[in-house]
Amino acid sequence: MESNLMTESELVLYLRIPEIGKAERFENVIENLRRFHDLPSISLCRQPLYPRRLIDQWIEQQAEKQ
């Protein structure tokens, strides 16, 4: 069963950051997206989780800005 909430590691793979990014620490890329580009997330037990549906909407919004 696929979860509707992704962990940070799952999000890194979902966004294909290792394939396209040059950062050594992928967590920094995600943190940058959260702080400066309004990447949607929720916190549960002090851990960020990323709702897949909202991430997909965010991607669409980012694409429209281009």
Cα distance between residue 49 and residue 39, in whole Å: 11
Cα distance between residue 54 and residue 65, in whole Å: 17
Instruction: Give residue 2's pLDDT.
Output: 66
Instruction: Give residue 25's pLDDT.
Output: 86
Residues of the chain under the 50 pLDDT cut? none
9, 50 Cβ separation under 8 angstroms: no
| Predicted TM-score of the model (pTM) | 0.85
Question: What is the H or E stretch that residue 56 is in?
Answer: helix 52-65
Instruction: Give residue 11's pLDDT.
Output: 96
Cα distance between residue 16 and residue 44, in whole Å: 24
The separation between CA 5 and the C-alpha centre of its own chain, rounded to angstroms, equals 11
Task: Find tokens 């990323």 and name the residue.
Answer: 50
26-41 tens-digit pLDDT: 889 999 999 999 999 9
